[in-house]
Structure 1
Amino acid sequence: MPHPLPPPLRRGPRTARGRFGRHSTRRRDRAPAVVYASPVVDTDQLLVVLVLALTFAFFVWGRWRYDAVALLALLALVLVDIVPGDAAFAGFGHPAVVTVAGVLVVSRGLQNSGAVDLLARWLTSAGSSPTRQIAATSGVAAGLSAFINNVGALAVLMPTAIRLARHAGNSPSSVLMPLAFASLLGGLVTLVGTPPNIVIATFRSDVSGEAFAMFDFAPVGLGVALAGLAFIALVGWRLIPQREVDSDGSLFEISDYLFELRIPDGSSAHGQSIAELGAASDAEFVVAAIVRNERRLALPSSFETLRAGDVLVVEASGEALDVLVAEAGLEVAGSHESALSELGSGDVVVAEAVVMPDSPLRARTVVDVDLRRRHHINLLAISRRGRQSRSRLGETPLEVGDVLLLQANRGELPAALERLSCLPLAERGLSVGRRERRALLAVSIFGGALLMAAALRLLPIQVAIAGAAAVMGLVGLLSPKEIYESIDWKVIVLLGAMIPVGGALEETGLAADIAGALVAVSGDLPTWTTIALVLVIAMFLSDLVNNTAAAVLMAPIALGVASRLAASPDPFLMAVAVGASAAFLTPIGHQSNLLVMGPGGYRFGDYWRLGLPLEVVITAVAVPLILLVWPP
């Protein structure tokens, strides 16, 4: 059936209610103008296009933080008088922002309580078959992600998934990408599963007076998630390049960089502390242990005084070793194998840990954070994208997803990793969070909030979730420090800044013009093709920029398309929700994708091998379900 000719749109002075607030006004008014299907782009629209183009360019470039880019975009629109100055930061009080922050806090409370661990334990019976392991780990990840933060669910399950793969002789690369993708699929099922759903729900509230409820996303999201999980477990994982690991499952091979050096009589190292020896040398090295009079001192303090006759277990490159031996007058005393045996002993362990998105190590070196003195940890090696870094460790800025080989005291390491927001991978017995085993209490609090908001509809979702977060703090599931640390402030700033930017897209008429172009492209084709087009565009955007930003920018366009077609906005908004959460082509599309890149040994081009066919499956399943559940 051909699309009806869209009626003229009359745009007068901008004093109408918009996303800038109930009484937002512009400083200059225009005479009313009639805009037809092919409008002339005005100055404001050109400015918005320019700002958005630069914003996308910086998002894709990735050198600047996306929250900073979003804030600069907002300020630019304020300076050119597109967004009113008195409403510039109204987005930070938006219900979507409050809900996202509350969900992040509640997710941390559920993790601390041990509720999430109960599901993770079940995975130990998954067997050795890759298909069974992937089906089990991905299914649990999707189930958790429907109710808690995607990255939080992934962080809890990733160590277990790696151990299962290694014990079965499988490469971790076969399970980690499916695990990350499953955490995104699970978020499609509920309102709180992912920030794009929360954003889309508030847009629906603006146009119809009623937001999408907690489980309104389930009929479409659950069908898409099940289809995606089935594809990943049965076919998709076979498309992932299998990265080989060492026979012991380690990402590191450091034996060639370990040496035993003896301090002879007359050496300048005699009487110096380890810190003084390092300051006096041009070589970069780590003293991992000292053998003194047949007594082994693992992880010595940097203030430990060295003596003649000491044997130092040193981790260094061959070039650095030559410099150190020449400068301090040391002697090579033992083999690589004997040095390796000295690394972990008694209360000292060697463990692998991955840098999380909120880690204070991100973009900093171990020298910047004074890892040895402040945290009593030696950094022995770095694995980045599956390859051990050969650069100078002290001068290498760390990145999200880097896997670190650490030496530390067994009793101190869990707390240190929690402070550093690093996820332990290899050393058994280490865990993230305090695991207070108060699972029933945490689940009851969260369930009560959902009951009040979704079933009884006594409270708005943002109030119910914020209340649950507050109660978790009051009963001790979260400390005040953990409440603030659990909130991903980059996402909050991004969302708060992008909401007015999305409003500018709508109020300048640019969203309506883009919607008209999409309708024109679909021509006389059925409505489902336009829904599919909206979904695919949102999907493409989410592969390049943050999925929350993609939802904020695509929602006004989807509403414009629905208006042009005189159709219900629901199917078009639901298409944006699905597309914005389907970031599977690149590691930069979502933090979950980036987090598994290092431990899985993936390269940038590996993601599309599974991601592209998965997005085809999602589109093929989502469009019919949207038409069935939310007819236009």
Structure 2
Amino acid sequence: MSAVSPPVALAAGVSTDVLVVFGVVVGALVLFVTEWLPIDVTAILIMVVLAVLEPWTQVSTAESLSGFSNKATIAVLAMLILSTGVSRTGLVQLVGRKLSAFAGENKSRQLGATIAAGGPVSGFVNNTPVVAILVPVISDLAHKGKTSPSKLLMPLSFASMLGGTLTLIGTSTNLLASETTARLADQQGIAGLHAFSMFEFTHLGVLVLAVGSLYLFVVAPRLLSDRVPVEDDYLTEYALGDYLSEVVVRESSPIVGQTVRAAIDADRFDADVLGLVRDGERFIEPLGQKVVRAGDTLTIRTGRETLADIATVDDLSLTGAPDDERDLEPTTQDEQALVEVVIHSGSSLAGQTLSSSSFRDRYDANVLAFRSRGETVHERMDDRRLRVGDTLLVQAPRSGIDRLSANPDFIVAHEPDEPDYRTEKIPHAIGIVLGVVLAATVTPFHIVTTALGGVVAMVSTGVLHPSEVYDSVDWDVIFLLAGVIPLGIALEQTGAAQLLGEAMAATATVLPALGVLWVFYLFTGVITSVISNNASVVLLIPVAVEAAVELGANPFAFVLAVTFAASTAFMTPVGYQTNLFVYGPGGYTFSDFFRVGLPLQLLLSVVTVGGIAAFWGV
């Protein structure tokens, strides 16, 4: 760290340095919450601002970039690659299928199978890809079992978070918390602080998983509504009745002889041709080059007012609307015509629009509507910026759906009929993951070393192809870690963490140390509900340690409280990526997460804090 002038003292003992760092933190939180900039760009901006304001932030250029070389960042990168290798073998999907076959149409078994599929496995495979893998499996289980997906998908997300508390590698939050704690121990020499071992808190994680699973099985079904009724099709579910219409092309129409692509003036009208019926046969994409003939019936997606304008301009006869989603399927091919597609974290579409991404041309697909943060969008879809978790209702031929399924940018909420899994590599994948865990447990090697060795082993054994390694990484997460780690350093080096810690410790005047620990758990849960779980860990662990030191309490207990609270963010769909993955396919509203998640958060606050006090002491 470069030398800086002594901080300028202000009123109430707050220095200019501290105020500047608080300003950077507030600015970062605003950008994270509003998503005015993509997360990775916000992270880069944080690094730049910290380095430019070095005289006040006390973060040098080298320190502002130190997040890229941090062990936690590299370990998370390696674990994401290992998780992708496991998913390529189809192991998690096969487990899900076995459980769904056992569940059948029994709703209690379905819920139990969902919790069992998402919970324990998330302790050993990063929970974010686990949910991405299981969303189509559980969605199919719900539809085949005559159950609303709304009853199963939120429990899947919550169970995966609970399972992530079992081991060091269950979630990126644990890895980051471990490295942050180790850095504080090295720099400040605080007794009792140390990096987490692989099974450091497994006994507490088992308790949290058991209590949380019981809540999901007994209480959650009574709080969850059937947001996606079983008997409804996609047209009803997405309220498309006023946005789909059929028109007949008259002989006098000026679009006769034109291609479908050129038939409607896209610059003038917000409309898409989704299907064409000719001589009793129905055709869907690719339609662009098909020439329009008199007597053709076109299915058009647009609003009523726009439809009237198109009918007048192009001399079309209005005939009505499709009765159900089967009217949008072709009669000449046996294929799935409509499917929901979720924008995955790290997707190249995040931050883009349907128009700028050339989505239709790339996948021969039409987007009928999409859900974004609880809002169903029908109009001007080409101009709306897509975000992680947005769910598109897509009409596409089998080839287009296969390409969507194979693309890591998307979670297709429907399993392909003939999935291309490398089932013969399952023993290799299991052996490699177990080797990574055992080596990190019984040898002096750090998890980052064993995980990187596991990546090499997966490529060497053919579990992963070399070209898939880079696509396996969620670069948004990596850049986020690289950006918030130096922000945590700024909090420590300027004394901002100490100031906040002293303020939190002041609650000890009315609460015992155990009560202060409980307050930290709840505060972390609230913060994580509006920003990234990784960001909350980096920002709050230094504060928690300072508060513990001020109280004379066990700092490791406070670190665990922050880590567990950040790993179990149930109250909002934006607090954890897995919640975003199920938000659209489950048809949930923002209030659904609060109604189901708040009681669970409060229950686990008592269980977790009590467990920490019993196992480690306060």
TM-score, structure 2 as length reference:
0.89
Q: Is the 8 A contact 2:432 2:454 kept in 1?
A: yes
Please give the residue correspondences for 1:341-356 in structure 2 after superposition, counting only pairs within 5 Å.
Answer: 341=327, 343-345=329-331, 346-353=333-340, 354-356=342-344
Where 1:272 maps in the other structure, the secondary structure is coil
What's the counterpart of residue 182 of structure 1? 159
Whether 1:111 aligns to 2:87 is: yes
2:53 matches 1:80: yes
CA contact (8 A) 1:550 1:580 kept: yes
1:282 equivalent to 2:259? Answer no
How far has the Cα of 1:550 moved from its partner?
A: 0.6
- Conserved in 1, the CA contact under 8 Å of 2:137 and 2:415? no
Which residue does 1:152 correspond to in 2?
129
Query: What does residue 96 of structure 2 align with?
Result: 120
**Does 2:439 match 1:439?**
no
Among 588, 609, 613, the alignment partner of 2:574 is 588
Structure 1 position 195, deviation (Å): 1.6
**Residue pairs, 1:216-227, within 5 angstroms:** 216-227=200-211
Give the aligned residue type for 2:409. S
Residue pair 2:270, 2:379 contacting (<8 A) in 1 also = no
Residues 280, 185 of structure 1: CA spacing in aligned structure 2 closer, same or farther, 3 A cutoff? closer
The residue number in structure 2 matching 1:368 is 356
Q: Does 1:545 align with 2:531?
A: yes
Partner SS for 2:535: helix
Determine the structure 2 residue equivalent to 1:390.
378
Q: 1:343 to 1:285 in 2, by over 3 A?
A: farther
Which residues in structure 2 correspond to 1:313-324 (within 5 Å)?
A: 313-324=299-310
Q: Deviations over 1:218-272 (max 9, x none)?
A: 1212211211111121113312333252624533454665444443434322221
Q: Which amino acid aligns with 1:370?
A: S
Contact 1:278 1:284 in 2 (8 A): no
Aligned partner of 2:25 in structure 1 is: 52
Pick the aligned partner of 1:600 from 572, 576, 586.
586
CA shift in 2, pair 1:482/1:427, >3 Å: closer
User: Could you say which residue in structure 2 is the equivalent of 1:450?
Assistant: 437
Query: Would the aligned equivalents of 2:140 and 2:415 in 1 still touch at CA under 8 Å?
Result: no
Q: How does 1:393-412 map to 2 (within 5 A)?
A: 393-412=381-400
- Counterpart of 1:512? 498
Q: 1:102 to 1:409 in 2, by over 3 A?
A: same
**Residue 479 of structure 2 aligns with which residue?**
493
CA shift for structure 1 position 109: 0.7
Q: Which residues of structure 2 form unaligned runs of 5+?
A: 187-193
Contact 1:290 1:300 in 2 (8 A): no
Are 2:34 and 1:61 equivalent residues in the alignment?
Answer: yes
For 1:146, give the aligned amino acid.
G
Aligned to 1:10: none
One-letter amino acid matched to 2:539: L
Structure 1 counterpart of 2:68: 92
Q: Which moved more, 1:555-564 or 1:205-214?
A: 205-214
Which string of whole-angstrom CA distances, capped at 9 and with x for unpartnered residues, describes residues 433-479 of structure 1? 7455521111111111111111x224210011112122212333223
Q: CA deviation at 1:481?
A: 3.8
Report deviation, 1:590: 0.9
Q: Give 1:41 deviation, angstroms.
A: 1.9
Residue identity matched to 1:448: G
Q: Residues of 1 paired with 2:443 and 2:31: CA distance?
A: 41
Partner SS for 1:193: coil
> Taking every aligned residue pair, what percent have the same amino acid on both sides?
32
Q: 1:630 aligned to 2:616?
A: yes
Give the direction of change, closer, same or farther, for the CA distance of 1:257–1:568 in structure 2 (3 Å limit). closer
Looking at structure 2, the residues matched to 176 and 122 of structure 1 have their Cα atoms a distance apart, in angstroms, of 18
- Check the 8 A contact 1:101/1:487 in 2, yes or no: yes
Q: Using the alignment, how far apart are the partners of 2:137 and 2:171 within structure 1?
A: 23
> Residue type matched to 1:161 in 2?
I
**Alignment partners' CA distance in 2, 1:476 and 1:80:** 47
Q: Between 349-358 and 388-397, report the one with greater CA deviation.
A: 388-397
CA distance in structure 1 between the partners assigned to 2:593 and 2:321 by the alignment: 41
Asked if 2 retains the 8 angstrom alpha-carbon contact of 1:381 and 1:389, the reply is: yes
Aligned residue among 511, 517, 529 for 1:531: 517
- Alpha carbons 1:558, 1:576 under 8 Å: kept: yes
* Cα RMSD after superposing both structures: 2.8
Q: Do the aligned residues in 1 keep the contact of 2:350 with 2:385 (CA within 8 Å)?
A: yes
Q: Is the 8 A contact 2:122 2:161 kept in 1?
A: yes
Distance 1:559 1:39, change over 3 A: farther
Of 315, 325, 337 in structure 1, the residue corresponding to residue 311 of structure 2 is: 325
CA distance in 1, matches of 2:146, 2:335: 27
- For the structure 1 residues 219 and 331, does the alpha-carbon distance in structure 2 shift closer, same or farther, using more than 3 Å as the test? same
Per-residue CA shift, 1:606-630, capped at 9, x if unaligned?
A: 2111111111111111112112222
Distance 1:411 1:60 in 2: 37
Q: Which amino acid aligns with 1:214?
A: M
- The offset of 1:281, in angstroms, is 7.6
The structure that has the greater radius of gyration is 1
Match of 2:454 in 1: 468
Aligned to 1:19: none
* Aligned equivalents of 1:430, 1:170: Cα separation in 2: 24
Which of 548, 563, 566 is equivalent to 1:577?
563
- Measured in 2, the distance between the counterparts of 1:386 and 1:508 equals 40
Residue 41 (structure 2) pairs with residue 40 (structure 1): no
